Structure 1
Amino acid sequence: MKKTALTLGKYAPLHRGHQYVFDTALAECDELVVLIYDTQVISTPLHIRAGWIRTLYPQVTVIECWDGPEGYSSERAFEILQEEYIFQMLAGRRITHFYSSELYGDHVSKALGALDRRLDEARATVPISATMIRENPLQYRDYVSDVVYKDLITKVVFVGAMSTGKSTLTEALAQKYQTTFAPEYGREYWTTHQIDRRISFEAFDEIAIGHLAREEEAVLQANRYLFVDTNAITTYLYALDYHGKAPTLLTQIALENASRYDLFFLCDADIPYDDTWDRSGDQKRQVFQKQVIADLQERRIPYITLSGSLEVRMAKVEAVLAGFVKYGNFFGRGF
């Protein structure tokens, strides 16, 4: 007889305890069905949480429950409501084993006519809960897969022309929030590879790829926030400035950058120009700043302008972050 397992939850977020249930069910049964419920306890949307499971367990059938019963109660009326909803979402699937780590495993398994497989109710095997992770993701980093952890981090990028204070601000904020940051890879690459202050057309793809690699490394150890100095959109503009066009890969990465970050801050060109050997003068800075702004507008990317001293800029970023909710409709709040 075919063994079909079922488990359910909010997975807000998905952690090693949930994966322990998945792994056990997959080891004991022929297939696994997961019902994932909508919830307000975490801002991460349902389809993204479902995507975590689909990425880590492509062999699992994931069913998104957008209108499931809210909350939990041991009253029989609520249990019946929950059972009826489960039957509705299963759409005739025969379940032989019900896996859970909760008390509801009793009534749900009975309703399904399935074996009640209660695992690690005391959280002794995997001592973690979603609440613990939501309160301090970095402290419980080892209990969360990379796929999930990246989506728990708020990614903040600083853009603007050369010598607008991006690097200084990025590092200062990372220090204040005790987190990681991704430095500008393009300037480092240019310094190493430039010949007569020029780099090749193909080099711009290498810069974009290298910068993304640094971000991916930094985000996995970030503490709630990742601060990023420049991105592929700026690299794209430099390619246009150098060669009058941009490579295909860089163009695509720049396009994807519009949704890669949670917050865009534009560093204003109102601070003294740092006239180093690798730069082309304040007039060039002012022109390039206008091009950055025009590109953000063309891409329909909302951004917040930072002007004034480092302290004033940091204070504004801090105020924004204090009211920010990842995946929330943030720009309706008047900033």
Structure 2
Amino acid sequence: MKRYGHGLVVGRFHPPHAGHHHLVATARERCERLTVLVRSSAADSLPLDERVAWMRETHPDALVVGTPVDGADTPAARTAVLRAAVPERVDAVFTSATHPEEPGRGLGAATVRVDSGHLGVPASAAVRADPAGCWDHLAPPVRAALTRRIVVLGAESTGATTMTLALTGHYRRRGGVWARTRYVAGHEHDTPGPPGARHHDRPPRSVDFPVLAQCRAEREEEAARDGAPVLFCDTDTDAFATTIWHERHTGTTSPAVGEIAARGRQHLWLLTDHRGVPYEPTGDTARRDGDRLRPWMTARFLTQLTRTGRRTAVLTGPHEERLAAAVAAVDALLAEGWGLTEPPEEPR
């Protein structure tokens, strides 16, 4: 099988999937070095820098670059874009397109067609139309970006953890890819402090909270890379909720925690109301404060969720009613789809 010096793979990778990765891996095997060019247009719904980052992570032995292609409406213009983005000589262009000749011909390079049809990989349009149905064809960083992240939050002893576990079980029972539904729980041991100190046994310090928020954000990201299309986050794990807990324990806001919360990729917040839920304190701090802070925290959560424009559903009533309302809110979010746009058709 003929080998080449410098190979090129061109695509939008919107989003990248197993078919794209097979193409790149095949090209890399047949070339001394490989460049992957990610094209983008203003109509694309996935940012170019994210797609470049995804391809770099998945193919660390290739050079991955990105370029916009708006205005390149003729073969000559598209070739000019390719030459500007990849100025070095290209010996072969690898493609799985049905009509693959143009890029190679324009660059004076051989065109090598790679057929991924035998792999059973759906077409890119099918992946865009139904990412959940094609979940196993997506690489971990893409799954992390597309996962719908649901935060269950509330004041102390309002059933947030119980609801997180109930929702996780509900979606796992749907089977298929949903059987891998995960949740992210808070852990006492991730609170900084003296050896042997537990989260509930000492008042947390302001300097603890940014460390907690970052640690929990990393756990959430890890879970999103390896689960189902939906991920549930307990109130103790969400950076936004941590901003309120900081107020509750210190009486002040934390800009550092706020910055971490602003970078979050959550989609829906389910607020567990304190009313109708018996107060069962955990730890010395909760027992000392008693039930007097629960109404304040519920109100503060709701005020800040509303002020920041976060999509919110308030869960009230008995557990069964709360679970039904939560499932309805999550299903409504999932029914909206991912809104992945189709690439504009290139004039010939």
- State the AA in 2 paired with 1:89: V
Q: Compare 273-282 and 224-233 and name the one that shifted more.
A: 273-282
- State the AA in 1 paired with 2:279: D
Contact 1:37 1:66 in 2 (8 A): yes
Residue identity (%): 21
- State the AA in 2 paired with 1:148: V
Residues 114-153 of structure 1 aligned to structure 2 (within 5 Å): 114-119=109-114, 121-124=115-118, 126-129=119-122, 130=124, 133=127, 135=130, 137=132, 141=136, 143-153=137-147
1:237 aligned onto 2:244: yes
- State the AA in 2 paired with 1:8: V
Cα distance in 1 between the residues matched to 2:211 and 2:38: 42
Contact 1:171 1:181 in 2 (8 A): no
Cα distance in 2 between the residues matched to 1:214 and 1:33: 30
Matched length: 308
| Offset, 1:304 | 1.7
Structure 2 residue aligned with 1:87: 79
Q: Compare 217-226 and 131-140 and name the one that shifted more.
A: 131-140
| Offset, 1:256 | 2.8
| Structure 2 counterpart SS, 1:260 | coil
Structure 1 residue aligned with 2:182: 181
Structure 2 residue aligned with 1:212: 217
Cα 1:226–1:218 change in 2 (3 A) is same
| Offset, 1:122 | 4.6
Contact 2:153 2:271 in 1 (8 A): yes
1:101 aligned onto 2:96: yes
Contact 1:44 1:326 in 2 (8 A): no
- State the AA in 1 paired with 2:112: R
Residues 261-280 of structure 1 aligned to structure 2 (within 5 Å): 261-269=265-273, 271-278=275-282, 279=286, 280=289
| Offset, 1:150 | 0.8
| Offset, 1:286 | 0.8
| Offset, 1:99 | 0.9
Structure 2 residue aligned with 1:76: none
Cα 1:301–1:192 change in 2 (3 A) is farther
| Structure 2 counterpart SS, 1:164 | coil
Long gaps (5+) in structure 2: 173-177, 341-348
Cα 1:103–1:220 change in 2 (3 A) is same
1:304 aligned onto 2:307: no
Structure 2 residue aligned with 1:74: none
| Offset, 1:225 | 0.9
Cα distance in 2 between the residues matched to 1:254 and 1:3: 49
Q: Aligned to 2:107, which of 104, 112, 128?
A: 112
Deviation by residue 1:34-63 (Cα, 9 ceiling, x = unmatched): 1424497x8534443233224445752423
Q: Compare 275-284 and 55-64 and name the one that shifted more.
A: 55-64
Q: Aligned to 1:65, which of 51, 65, 68?
A: 68
| Structure 2 counterpart SS, 1:235 | helix
- State the AA in 2 paired with 1:324: E
Q: What is the TM-score with the length of structure 1 in the denominator?
A: 0.74
Cα distance in 2 between the residues matched to 1:109 and 1:196: 67
Structure 1 residue aligned with 2:9: 7
Cα distance in 2 between the residues matched to 1:157 and 1:66: 38
Cα 1:325–1:246 change in 2 (3 A) is same
| Structure 2 counterpart SS, 1:177 | helix
| Offset, 1:31 | 4.7
Structure 1 residue aligned with 2:230: 225
Cα distance in 2 between the residues matched to 1:222 and 1:168: 20
| Structure 2 counterpart SS, 1:261 | coil
